[in-house]
Structure 1
Amino acid sequence: MELIAFLVDFILHVDKHLETFVLNYGTWVYALLFLIIFVETGVVVMPFLPGDSLLFVVGAMCGVGLMDYQLSVALLLAAAVLGNQSNYAIGRFFGPKVFKWEDSRYFNKRAFDQAHAFYEKYGGITIVAARFMPFLRTFAPFVAGVAQMTRSKFTFYDVTGGALWVGGIITAGYFFGSVPWVKENLDKIIWAMILIPGLIILWGAWKAKRNATRAANAGQI
């Protein structure tokens, strides 16, 4: 319970925790950030880590000189790309057996099904779009591996999506993180970055389920 409480507090107050870590441990912060981004994108059981808000705060800290902008972008892009490659390899290894797995504390079957439905509808662009969607971001490369997407095609979408995600959000934080209104409302911005994509995903899942139900009812007529 203490670990869960700490994780929730870290996610909601990532700006304060990260600043404290930088002041206490200096350049070790880059190793911590690399690990967080790699694990969030590379381990299918860790979809709850603070990707978007973390990148924005990193950009804001670069903007005030606490971190190096170019090093942060390069290192975290590498973490995002390598994480996706790891997740893809895991999905490719387990293959179709995944569809038989049940929901558990280590595997979110509903999130997997949503990512798979998104992938079936939009194909490779899912890897790019999912970068900006919590949970889907973690499961999209895994689904691509299960679907046996070729490594070269996956890598293209992986690098493209990673560059847009890491570079875009860190740059936004770099330019806007020091704006007085943003600094005063950063906690609300973090909440928005967590909740809004989540609500979009839930709405999409509800709509997909409703359409499937309508199709099934129409087939029975």
Structure 2
Amino acid sequence: MELAQLSHTLRQDALSVVFVNVLLQQMGVPVPAVPTLLLAGSLAAGPDGLGKLLAVAVLASVVADWAWYGAGKLFGYRVLAGLCKLSINPASCVSQTEARFIRWGLSSLVVAKFIPGFSTVAPPIAGALRMNLGGFLLAAAAGAALWAGAALGAGWVLKEAVQAAIVALDEHMGRALVVLGLLAGAWLGWKLWQKYRFRQQCAIAHITPTELLAALESAERPLVLDLRGATMVAATGPIPGTRLAEHDRLHEAVGDWPKNRPIVTLCACPEDAGAIQAARHLLEAGYLSVRPLQGGYEAWLAATSQTAPADAQ
């Protein structure tokens, strides 16, 4: 839709356009909402109109967050695993975001809209962890009000500049599309480069579940760090003989473990992304033998037939 057409549509029915745009964006559809909010704010007739726009934007955002909350409550960690698989950079595993969310609590929802990626996984994590629905909706509404209010308010205050920008963009739409295409290409190239770098990092030596079982029976048993998120641990139970660990607190999990003793990292991430990332971090910290478990938690279950491993501590 051209900007002139969008501007005309907003003049005719701004509330519906804002509601649908924000709802789709918050549900995960790759459509930008901030430009629409800026434009809608610049076209608002007065404070009352601005307030109505803010109300429908908050309502749309909360409806989307409520839907994600319900999905997380119904399907648990499987929703988070699915979101992780959709990421173009598997190294940014959902379990890391989940750990931060648990640490910060519902207050993190107030700023979630301003953090790319976090705003998508926070609502299903809250649902999977069975967080209080009333508190969740209140925090989600506060965060949506800040996010949408900032965009609408900026449009209102800078209405002349926004309108001038629209006219300029319409006059030079071809050039603007070229610039946007170049920016999108640069962003995609950067993401693909991150994926390529991750592929290179995958060259780190892994340990198979069979080898790990044998190592656990040896005289020098490895320390096994379980990097699965709290949601999955709560749903499936801890793995006996392992230590729960967070990516942001690896050294606390390792504790006084000697640097010359073997360590195995385990996650439930696509391509063992989180386990590889943690292993590399510990190797860089001076630990001599750190290997991610090949195939992660699912491979471990298949190898043990859900039989608890020996104590790795």
Equivalent AA in structure 2 for residue 18 of structure 1: L
Cα root mean square deviation, aligned: 4.0
Corresponding residue of 2:222? none
After TM superposition, give the deviation of residue 102 of structure 1 in Å. 7.6
Aligned to 2:128: 146
**Cα distance between partner residues in 2 of 1:138 and 1:100:** 13
17, 22, 29: which one aligns with 1:37: 22
TM-score (norm 1): 0.66
Counterpart of 2:282 (choices 212, 216, 220) is 216
Contact 1:177 1:183 in 2 (8 A): no
* Percent identity (aligned): 21
Go from structure 1 to structure 2 and tell me whether the alpha carbon gap of 1:82 and 1:103 turns closer, same or farther (over 3 Å shift).
Answer: closer
State the secondary structure of the residue aligned to 1:116.
helix
1:161 partnered with 2:227: no
Q: Secondary structure at the match of 1:149?
A: coil
**Residue 9 of structure 2 is aligned to residue 21 of structure 1:** yes
Higher relative contact order (CA 8 A, sep 6+): 1
- Pair 1:180–1:147, CA change in 2 (3 A): closer
The answer to whether the 8 Å contact 1:40/1:138 transfers is no
- SS of the residue corresponding to residue 178 of structure 1 reads helix
> C-alpha distance in 2, partners of 1:78/1:30?
11
| Conserved? CA contact 1:76–1:166, under 8 Å | yes
Kindly provide the amino acid, as one letter, of the partner of residue 81 in structure 1: V
More displaced, 173-182 or 91-100? 173-182
- Match for 2:41: what amino acid? G
Where does structure 2 lack aligned partners over 5 or more consecutive residues? 170-175, 199-246, 249-273, 289-313
Map of 2:40 onto structure 1: 58
Q: Identify the residue that residue 172 of structure 1 maps to in structure 2.
A: 154
Displacement after TM superposition at 1:30 (Å): 2.1
Alignment of 1:1-221 (within 5 A): 15-22=3-10, 26-27=12-13, 29-41=14-26, 43=27, 45-46=28-29, 48-62=30-44, 68-101=49-82, 107-108=86-87, 110=90, 113=94, 115-179=97-161, 183=165, 212-213=278-279, 215-217=281-283, 218=285, 220-221=287-288
Q: What amino acid does structure 1 have at the position aligned with 2:282?
A: A
Letter aligned with residue 166 of structure 1: A
Distance 2:53 2:75 in 1: 33
Residues 219, 98 of structure 1: alpha-carbon distance in 2 compared, 3 angstrom cutoff: farther
**Segments of 4+ moved more than 4 angstroms:** 109-112, 184-187, 206-211
Mark the structure with the bigger radius of gyration.
Answer: 2
Q: Which has the higher helix share?
A: 1
Q: What SS is found at the alignment partner of 1:148?
A: coil
Cα gap change, 1:147 to 1:216, in 2 (>3 Å):
farther
Gaps of 5+ in 1: 1-9
Partners of 1:168 and 1:90 in 2: CA distance? 28
